[in-house]
């Protein structure tokens, strides 16, 4: 496996908390190691925040909120565009830092940086629309006038995962700031470095002190304290379904708002008339982008029986030839998993697939040497009750089953507790639309890769989501709706 030199950065990596406009140490006086998943070496140690740090950050945000909420949407748009331009200016450094900390190939990290820029630019545009007059509502009374006003919810806690650093932050932070909320961000303890560098860019954009705060640390310490804090009006969480349930429970006593973007076990339905080359490309991208560490991974392949043999053969060849290696090496198609716990979890799932009787077509071994590398794995004829078919693996494991009728495909696709995304591959446009309409998923792609635009929406059905991100829905999730009813003067 090639081992190119690790990238050098322009300045020392940021490791401190950012609270009330200052970079500071944690009151716990403890630190967390941040590991390079390609080498298993510690890159640096960051502050391990605790409940006292959370309280300082929330108090700072609460104090700043009073003035921040009174700024105009146009003023907030200026800050958002400054953040976007800062990300552009430091894009290559951010991409390199993400690949080193997360493990994804540098080309994928560059895509993520572009997504961050687009998201901040989009919400800058949306923020400018907030200066319009209150929305008048027609009511059946000539003696009264009703309007709807949208106001920021207050202090919001943003808790983000390790699989898409900066992207999930941008999807939450940009609309929260656009709405006029003050923010406390908790990055994943596994990938805080790109988030801290993004925080420095936000700082340089000149936001008032306390509007934006970052507390690094573990979920059990920082995440739990944020979720339960009485001054936090809203929690926006992206992560596992199990932790999402804990977030809801912790938020319940104070009846605070909660948005959840959780797990998935998504299908890609390939009909017999599909373009085979396209189908192979879509399956590979849907299953193995970011080493399969995606809540949107379409790792359940449902293929119509007449095409099954040809699709399996083509996929097996592509899976076996996937180049797994260092994120900075030329030709690398898939990097390591992001942390040891996930590495071990994927190994357990592969073993359970074998034990359940699924036919192993491509064995996903572990290369020699350091790093959390796993070769992609492919199972076919997977029992419908098998854990590898039903549970979210969050790794490079592809499972395939055949179907005979359109109704069978829809039933099998919807037979899951999740409902985040789905893909349909067919040359029959009418069937594509019909099946997309029948699938229980928040996002459906027809003959298209997993493109996500900030102008649209993100979120799913069932246990996959509570609420929506992106588009106007993402902005609305950080707003309260106020009705004002006024008597009309007779003068």
Q: What pLDDT does 491 receive? A: 67
Q: What is the CA radius of gyration of the chain?
A: 23
SS3 (DSSP) at 3: coil
DSSP one-letter code for 489: P
80-83's contacts with Cβ under 8 Å and 24+ in sequence apart are 80/120, 80/121, 80/123, 80/124, 80/127, 80/174, 80/177, 80/178, 81/120, 81/121, 81/124, 82/204, 82/205, 82/206, 83/120, 83/174, 83/201, 83/202, 83/205
Q: What pLDDT does 368 receive? A: 87
Q: Is the CB of residue 57 less than 8 Å from the CB of residue 215?
A: yes
Vertex 319, ends 317 and 320: CA angle to 5°? 65
Tell me the catalytic residues. Answer: 261
Tell the burial category of 437 from Cβ atoms under 10 Å away from its Cβ (0-12, 13-18, 19+).
exposed
Q: What pLDDT does 7 receive? A: 73
Instruction: Answer yes or no: pTM beyond 0.85.
Output: yes
How far apart (Å, rounded) are the C-alpha atoms in residues 452 and 294?
Answer: 13
367-392 pLDDT, tens per residue? 889 999 999 999 999 999 999 999 99
Instruction: Tell me the C-alpha to C-alpha distance, in Å, between residue 215 and each of 22, 248, 339.
Output: 12, 21, 20
How far apart (Å, rounded) are the C-alpha atoms in residues 191 and 162?
Answer: 5
In tens digits, what is the pLDDT along the chain, a chain of 491 residues?
Answer: 445 666 776 668 999 999 999 999 999 999 999 999 999 999 999 999 999 999 999 999 999 999 999 999 999 999 999 999 999 999 999 999 999 999 999 999 999 999 999 999 999 999 999 999 899 999 999 999 999 999 999 999 999 999 999 999 999 999 999 999 999 999 999 999 999 999 999 999 999 999 999 999 999 999 999 999 999 999 999 999 999 999 999 999 999 999 999 999 999 999 999 999 999 999 999 999 999 999 999 999 999 999 999 999 999 999 999 999 999 999 999 999 999 999 999 999 999 999 999 999 998 888 889 999 999 999 999 999 999 999 999 999 999 999 999 999 999 999 999 999 999 999 999 999 999 999 999 999 999 999 999 999 999 999 999 999 999 999 999 999 999 999 998 66
What is the distance, to the nearest Å, from the Cα of residue 48 to the centroid of all Cα atoms in its chain?
23
Domains and CATH numbers, the chain: 17-262+464-482 (3.40.605.10), 267-453 (3.40.309.10)
Query: In the sheet where 234-238 sits, what is the strand order?
Result: 22-24, 17-19, 212-214, 182-186, 155-159, 234-238, 257-261, 465-466
Q: Which of 213, 195, 208 is nearest to 69 (CA)?
A: 208
SS3 (DSSP) at 15: coil
Q: Is the CB of residue 116 less than 8 Å from the CB of residue 87?
A: yes
How far apart (Å, rounded) are the C-alpha atoms in residues 30 and 448?
Answer: 46
Q: What pLDDT does 2 receive? A: 46
Q: Is the CB of residue 451 less than 8 Å from the CB of residue 442?
A: no
If phi over 0 gives left and psi between -120 and 50 gives alpha, with beta otherwise, what is residue 426?
beta
Helix (H) / strand (E) containing 269: strand 267-270
How far apart (Å, rounded) are the C-alpha atoms in residues 385 and 289?
Answer: 26
């Amino acid at each position: 496996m090639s081992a190119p030199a690790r990238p050098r950065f322009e300045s020392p990596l940021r490791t401190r908390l950012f609270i009330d406009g200052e970079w500071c140490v944690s009151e716990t006086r403890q630190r967390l190691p941040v590991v390079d998943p390609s080498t298993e070496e510690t890159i640096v140690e960051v502050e391990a925040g605790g409940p006292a740090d959370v309280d300082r950050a929330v108090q700072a945000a609460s104090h700043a909120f009073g003035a921040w909420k009174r700024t105009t949407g146009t003023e907030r748009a200026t800050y958002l565009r400054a953040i976007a331009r800062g990300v552009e200016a430091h894009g290559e450094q951010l991409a390199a830092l993400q690949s080193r900390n997360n493990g994804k190939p540098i080309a994928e990290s560059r895509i993520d940086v572009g997504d961050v820029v687009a998201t901040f630019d989009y919400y800058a545009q949306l923020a400018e629309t907030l200066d319009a007059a209150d929305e008048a509502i027609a009511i059946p009374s000539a003696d009264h006038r009703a309007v709807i006003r949208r106001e920021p919810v207050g202090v919001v806690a943003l808790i983000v995962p390790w699989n898409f650093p900066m992207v999930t932050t941008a999807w939450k932070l940009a609309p929260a700031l656009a709405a006029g909320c003050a923010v406390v961000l908790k990055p994943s303890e596994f990938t805080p470095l790109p988030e801290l560098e993004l925080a420095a860019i936000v700082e340089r954009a000149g936001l008032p002190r306390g509007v934006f705060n970052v507390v690094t640390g573990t979920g059990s310490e920082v995440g739990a304290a944020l979720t339960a804090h009485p001054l936090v009006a809203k929690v926006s969480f992206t992560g596992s379904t199990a932790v999402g349930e804990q977030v809801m429970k912790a938020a319940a006593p104070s009846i605070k708002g909660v948005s959840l973007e959780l797990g998935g076990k998504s299908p890609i339905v390939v009909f017999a008339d599909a373009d085979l080359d396209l189908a192979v490309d879509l399956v590979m991208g849907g299953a193995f982008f970011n080493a399969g560490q995606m809540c949107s991974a379409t790792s359940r392949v449902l293929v119509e029986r007449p095409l099954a043999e040809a699709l399996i053969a083509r996929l097996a060849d592509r899976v076996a030839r996937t180049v797994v290696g260092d994120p900075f090496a030329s030709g690398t198609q898939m990097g390591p998993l992001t942390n040891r716990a996930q590495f071990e979890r994927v190994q357990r799932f592969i073993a359970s697939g074998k034990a359940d009787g699924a036919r192993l077509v491509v064995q996903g071994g572990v290369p020699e040497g350091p790093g959390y590398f796993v070769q992609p794995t492919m199972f076919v004829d997977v029992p419908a009750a098998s854990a590898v078919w039903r549970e979210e693996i969050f790794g490079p494991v592809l499972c395939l089953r055949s179907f005979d009728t359109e109704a069978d495909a829809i039933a099998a696709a919807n037979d899951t507790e999740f409902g985040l995304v789905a893909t349909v591959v067919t040359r029959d446009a009418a069937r594509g639309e019909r099946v997309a309409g029948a699938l229980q998923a928040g996002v459906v792609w027809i003959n298209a890769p997993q493109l996500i635009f900030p102008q649209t929406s993100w979120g799913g059905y069932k246990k996959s989501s509570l609420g929506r991100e992106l588009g106007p829905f993402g902005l609305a999730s950080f707003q309260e709706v106020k009705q004002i009813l006024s008597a009309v003067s007779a003068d």
